[in-house]
Amino acid sequence: VTSLKPGWTTFTWEESISHTASPFRISILDENEKLVTVLLDHIPHNENSSPIANVEKTYTPYKMSINIPDIKCDKCTLQFLYVMTDKTVNCGIPTCYYNPDDAACKGSTDPEAPTCAGAPNDNVCVQEGECFSNYHSCSDVVLLGTVPYTEFSQDSQPADWPYNSQHMKMQYYGAEVGSWSNNWLQGLPANYTTEFPNLTC
Distance between CA 27 and CA 35 in Å, rounded?
7
Report the percentage of the chain scoring pLDDT > 70: 99
Return the pLDDT at 201.
61
Enter the pTM of the model. 0.95
Where residue 200 falls among pLDDT bands split at 50, 70, 90?
A: low
CA distance 55 to 32: 34
Distance of alpha carbon 102 from alpha carbon 118, whole angstroms: 16
Average pLDDT over the chain reads 96
Q: Write the DSSP string, 33-88.
A: S-EEEEEEEEEPEETT----TT-GGGPEEEEEEEEE-SEEEEEEEEEEEEE-HHHH
Tens digit of each residue's pLDDT (9 = 90 or more) over 70-96: 999 999 999 999 999 999 999 999 999
CB atoms within 10 A of CB 152: 18
Question: Residue 114 pLDDT more than 90?
Answer: yes
The pLDDT tens digits for 137-185 are 999 999 999 999 999 999 999 999 999 999 999 999 999 999 999 999 9
> Which whole number is the average pLDDT over 27-52?
97
